[in-house]
Amino acid sequence: MARVVKGDQQAFSQLYDHSSTLLFTLAVRILGNHEEAAELLQDVYLEVWRKVSRYDVGRGTPVAWLVTLTRSRAIDRLRARATRGYRATQSLGDGAAEHVADLGPNPFETQADQELRVSIGAAVAGLPQAQRQAIELAYYEGLSHSEIAARLNQPLGTVKTRIKLGMSKLRDGLHQYWNHGELQ
Amino acid sequence: MTHEELEESVPLYAAGALDRTERQALEAHLLSGCASCHAALKDHQSVAALLPLGLSQTSPPRALKATIMAGRNPAPIPEEAAQKEPAKPSLEPGEWMNHLFPPIAPARSWSLPWAVGLATLVIVAVGGYLSWNVVTQRSEDTSNIQQLESALQDKSTTLAILQREVGEQAKALAAVRSDLQQRTNEAAEAKEQLAQREADLEEARVQLSQRSGARTGGTPQDELATLLRIPNIKAVSLTGSDVAKHAAGFLLYDARTQKVWLYSVNLPECPNGTTYQLWAIQAKPVSLGTFHMDRGDTAHLLVKKVSNFTDAKTFALSLEPSGGRPQPTGPIYLLSRS
């Protein structure tokens, strides 16, 4: 990442190789279609290339930064789309099942990355369904707790508790992997 | 909000589930430098950033990389100040947002960090000079050292002031950014309302057209309007006779529905015990129906279903005793031009 900051083309290419599948997966999950996800990824990487000098190489994980950036831009698009009255074709909660999973090995994924991915998948799958659903509605649909409460017809306090408990469980479950979180 | 409430909102913040007001409250609290909330946020933010790893992974299209690599113009401008400055051991108040949140717009002025960088260089230079002075001269010129120390202290004070200014600047920028975000959200809400209004209007239009569609064949006026749009409808004009010079009529016949429509205007009112009767005249007159004109009536629409109506060329309207007659007996009021 430090080399990307200096404008290193090869480093940028490597950054793309390491992060594009994850970011594309995230964008497809949020936006529900591949074309728009590809468009978004193009915007995100070009923004990273233009503004990467503002990323402080001294701290944080670049992938976390990229994920946050991609999620934020995707949710913006989702809201803009809702404003235009467009209805997402994808219904809630079944997004992951609709994805065409790329089952082939990612050549840029290390064994540690793979283990991390499996662990996170297991940690998320291990959450009680209600907690997972609340977190996913916030994270992938961009809904606030009050919107989630209205959507699920549940008291606001219940929804807040579900998200808090779910996030804390994930944090505790993943604690041992955090130091391997960087895919740099 | 109490500190406990703010701390509890941290996981919700990381999951992206807070509404705008709560988000701003927590951000303001983080800006005030709360270390425990900051640490909790970093923890939860790391979890949130890992969530997409749990999805079943989908590779982007192969062509995308080439498109992106080709689109990277102009080349990035490396941040020289960032390179010159050593990585800071901890986040300054306000700066955590630049790290946790993607840069949205150029929001930070680099002139002050530059000044800080320069001040740092000055201090390093002064310190270096001090060391050199001590080692080489060994003159134990106490007053000189004190002078230099005081200069160093001045520079340190200047640096502290500049750093505080940077912090304040960052806070102000965060406030501006939050304000901008609020405006953006308000604009988005307004747009949303507008879209909703448009949708309501469209729905109202649809309902209106459905209702008018459902009414076709309902009121005679609507049906008449529909009839007028059918090209092969038979239309006959009737003019007033000597007894009703101002009267006129217009007769339509729809062969599909076997309906006759007579729209008449300016007929005099029927005297008591009389009625108007419409006749189709082929070999002999055939009654098509009767209607009554009351005092004050100026126009009348007669609609009749007539199964035995065929190719009559002439139509007439006569005034007959109430209930009509099998053959015309009274004066003719309207007559078609044959």
What backbone phi and psi angles, to 5 degrees, belong to B287?
Answer: -70, 130
Chain B contact for A6, CB < 8 A?
Answer: yes
Parse chain B into domains and list their residue ranges.
223-336
Q: How far apart are CA B331 and CA B240, in angstroms?
A: 11
How close does chain B come to A125, measured CA to CA in Å?
A: 9
Which chain A residues have a beta carbon less than 8 Å from that of B55?
25-26, 29, 96, 99, 121
B65, closest residue in chain A (CA to CA): A16
Chain A contact for B171, CB < 8 A?
Answer: no
Pick the most confident of B145-159, B204-218, B257-271, B317-331. B317-331
With an 8 Å Cβ cutoff, are A79 and B68 in contact?
no
Which chain A residues have a beta carbon less than 8 Å from that of B16?
71, 75, 138-139, 142
Give pLDDT, residue B91.
Answer: 36
CATH number of this structure's domain B223-336: 2.60.40
B19, closest residue in chain A (CA to CA): A144
Which chain A residues have a beta carbon less than 8 Å from that of B72?
9, 12, 46, 49
With an 8 Å Cβ cutoff, are A21 and B59 in contact?
yes
pLDDT higher at B213 or B6: B6
pLDDT higher at B246 or B310: B246
Nearest to A83 among B8, B55, B188 (CB): B188
Which chain A residues have a beta carbon less than 8 Å from that of B75?
7
Residue A91: DSSP 8-state:
P
Read off the pTM: 0.47
Which chain A residues have a beta carbon less than 8 Å from that of B6?
none
Interface predicted TM-score of the whole assembly (ipTM), two decimals: 0.81
Q: How far apart are CA B187 and CA B90, in angstroms?
A: 36
Average pLDDT over residues B34-58: 88
Domain A109-184 has CATH 3.40.50.10800: no
Least confident of B82-91, B154-163, B320-329: B82-91
Residue B133: DSSP 8-state:
I
Give pLDDT, residue B234.
Answer: 78
pLDDT higher at A105 or B303: B303
pLDDT tens, position by position, B56-105 = 888 899 889 888 888 776 555 444 444 444 433 333 333 344 444 443 33
**The pLDDT of residue A47 is above 70:** yes
Which chain B residues have a beta carbon less than 8 Å from that of A14?
none
Give pLDDT, residue A34.
Answer: 92
Count chain A–chain B contacts defined by CB atoms under 8 A.
Answer: 221
With an 8 Å Cβ cutoff, are B101 and A167 in contact?
no
Average pLDDT over residues B176-180: 91
The segment(s) of chain A belonging to CATH 1.10.1740.10 are 1-86
Residue B328 to residues B269, B317, B324, Cα–Cα distance (Å): 19, 9, 8
Q: Would you call B152 helix, strand, or coil by DSSP? A: helix
The segment(s) of chain A belonging to CATH 1.10.10.10 are 109-184
**The pLDDT of residue B52 is above 60:** yes
How close does chain A come to B156, measured CA to CA in Å?
A: 24
Which chain A residues have a beta carbon less than 8 Å from that of B18?
144-145
Which tokens go with A137?
A: 């509605």
- Which residues 67-106 of A are in CB contact (within 8 Å) with B? 67-69, 71-73, 75, 79-80, 82-85, 96, 99-102, 106
Residue from A52, A106, A127, A144 to probe the interface with B (highest B Cβ count within 10 Å): A144
Give pLDDT, residue A113.
Answer: 76
Chain B contact for A54, CB < 8 A?
Answer: yes
Provide the H-helix boundaries in chain B: 3-8, 10-15, 20-31, 35-50, 62-70, 80-84, 96-100, 111-132, 142-215, 220-228
Query: Exposed e or buried b for every residue in B62-90, given b needs 16+ CB within 10 A?
Result: eebbeebeeebeeebeebebbeebeeeee
Q: Which CATH architecture has domain A1-86?
A: Orthogonal Bundle (1.10)
pLDDT tens, position by position, A128-184 = 999 999 999 999 999 999 999 999 999 999 999 999 999 999 988 877 665 554 433
pLDDT tens, position by position, B93-138 = 333 444 444 433 333 444 455 555 555 565 656 555 555 555 555 5
B7, B12, B18, B21: CA torsion to nearest 10: 10
- H/E stretch holding B303 reads strand B299-305
Residue position matching structure tokens 């004070």: B157
B91, closest residue in chain A (CA to CA): A59
Give pLDDT, residue B116.
Answer: 54
The rounded mean pLDDT for chain B is 77
